[in-house]
Amino acid sequence: MEHIVIIGNGISGVTLARHIRKNSDKEITIVSAETDYFFSRTALMYVYMGHMKFEHTQPYESWFWKKNRINLKKGYVQQVDPKKKQLVFSNNETLSYDKLVLATGSKPNKFGWPGQDLKGVMGLYHKQDLENLEKHAPNNKVCKRAVIVGGGLIGIELAEMLHSRNIPVTFLVRETSFWNGVLPAGESEMINEHIKENHIDLRLSTNLKEIVSDENGRVKSVIIEETGEEIPCDVVGLTAGVSPNIDFIKNSETSAEPSRSIETNRGILVNRFLETNIKDVYAIGDCAEQREAIGNRRPIEAVWYTGRMMGETLAQTLCGNRVEYKPGHWFNSAKFIDIEYQTYGWVFSERSKKDTELHFHWRHPKENICITVAYDKDTNKFLGINTFGIRMRHKIFDRWLTEERDVNHVMEYLADANFDPEFYRAYEKEIITKFNQENNTNIQPRKKSWKRIFAKA
């Protein structure tokens, strides 16, 4: 019986295993050095904040794996030997495979800062990071202040977590405005304001120079690059992005014949079928890098839903139905403390947008609610939308992007996309009024129609 070994028990690897089992009787083994069982990585913050226990983050009961004949092995893979089709573990155990899938995820970036490996320095990605946080920042008596380095989604999650235990936070962001490499200016500025409203010490255009140790090898303070200021702290969160977790693959390259090495760049290089250069070796999820980017997408996408889609796609190929990875229209969602964020299609920041891309931006005069709509200035074609504080329907925007609707159509039928509950206030009238004023149009908003909402594209 063919043996498929999957390294990594995150959303990519587990989705792959589940779908292989649905479609075949192949032998499946999932290898992980992190935890015995799959858990929801995005839920780690809610464990720390007291909203749930760690066992609540596990979508499947422990009996699920045996019942579905999915073998689980806990261990750290030190080397892959494609010639022998064998894994070598840190304790020198070996495991043979017929087909190998690398789904090893990401690790927090470190940029060679002095003191970056001290006790009390951590990321927010693995279960071990959560355990570290509980050890070094259980309350504001043990941790008098935390410093977070890096202004992305993980950074603001960590800030919210620490803030929930009344631990003062200083937030070092090297950009001139929070996440302005991704968000348009108006949205980024709104998030700046919201962070400060929550009494978080936001330092923009600020870089870390050094993490200072006390006499016991623990964090004592950080030094700011620009000013030399020393900020006393007990915890440093490194959240300046993530990188593919592929060090063990690079170790394998040095020991294997060049022609039998798995090719890597920043990640493990794959084609559209998620195949590496080595026969019977595949890569999915955060560690996989497309040799050629798909449309506007980045070659590496450390995103939960793309990892799940890769797992579903590769399962078809491994079960005899070779399928190309086609992720469709870009979408994502997140939360900035208590502001919900969604994006559909492409809405680029000022530094990234093309000359032909125009933005319409509306912001509520008092509340932290806004939208930005991107469209082509020559054709009026709808390109994408960002929403903050208003929930929108994925299905509707996916349909409009596929149908290549123009921005006037989107505005006219915007109510159909609103997903907020019945008694939430709707803002389509105010949004369209401003759009008409700025664009010299006379669009009349349509009332929400369930018939249109559930119509097939």
Look up the pTM and report it. Answer: 0.92
Neighbours of 379 (CB within 10 A): 12
> Which candidate, 390, 363, 385, places its Cα nearest to that of 374?
385
For the cut 60, the answer to whether the pLDDT of residue 321 exceeds it is yes
pLDDT-based confidence at residue 41 (cuts at 50, 70, 90):
confident
What contacts 24+ positions apart, CB below 8 Å, involve 423-429?
A: 427/362, 427/364, 427/369, 427/390
For the cut 90, the answer to whether the pLDDT of residue 425 exceeds it is no
How many residues make up the chain in this entry? 457
**Mean pLDDT computed over 63-71:** 95
For the cut 60, the answer to whether the pLDDT of residue 229 exceeds it is yes
- Encoding tokens for residue 58? 């596990």
pLDDT digits (tens, 9 = 90+) for 153-197: 999 999 999 999 999 999 999 999 999 999 999 999 999 999 999
**Mean pLDDT computed over 290-308:** 94
Q: What is the mean pLDDT of the chain?
A: 94
> Which candidate, 305, 244, 264, places its Cα nearest to that of 107?
244
pLDDT digits (tens, 9 = 90+) for 334-373: 999 999 999 999 999 999 999 999 999 999 999 999 999 9
> Which candidate, 312, 424, 345, places its Cα nearest to that of 11?
312
Query: In 198-290, which residue ranges form alpha helices assigned H by DSSP?
Result: 247-255
- Domains of the chain by start residue, with CATH: 3-107+243-318 (3.50.50.60), 121-240 (3.50.50.60), 331-453 (3.30.390.30)
- Cα 405 to Cα 146, 318, 354, 376: the distances in Å are 47, 37, 19, 11
Strands 27-32 and 70-74: parallel
CA dist., res. 238 & res. 245, Å (int)? 16
Predicted local confidence at residue 37, as pLDDT: 85
In percent, the amount of the chain with pLDDT more than 70 equals 97
Distance linking the first and last C-alpha atoms of the chain? 42
pLDDT-based confidence at residue 259 (cuts at 50, 70, 90):
low
342 neighbors 330 (Cβ within 8 angstroms) = no
**3-class DSSP state of 188:** helix
For the cut 90, the answer to whether the pLDDT of residue 246 exceeds it is yes
Give residue 209's Cα distance to chain centre: 27
Chain position carrying tokens 């995820």: 105
- Cα 277 to Cα 65, 258, 260, 302: the distances in Å are 31, 12, 9, 22
**Mean pLDDT computed over 271-299:** 96
Q: Residue 314: CB partners within 8 Å, gap ≥ 6?
A: 16, 101, 274, 282, 284, 325
For the cut 70, the answer to whether the pLDDT of residue 258 exceeds it is no
Predicted local confidence at residue 252, as pLDDT: 66
How many Cα atoms are found within 13 Å in the side-chain-facing hemisphere of 116?
A: 14
- Encoding tokens for residue 84? 């022998």
CA dist., res. 235 & res. 246, Å (int)? 27
For the cut 70, the answer to whether the pLDDT of residue 255 exceeds it is no
Predicted local confidence at residue 409, as pLDDT: 97
pLDDT-based confidence at residue 403 (cuts at 50, 70, 90):
very high
CA dist., res. 99 & res. 28, Å (int)? 10
Give residue 386's Cα distance to chain centre: 16
pLDDT digits (tens, 9 = 90+) for 113-143: 999 999 999 998 888 999 999 999 999 999 9
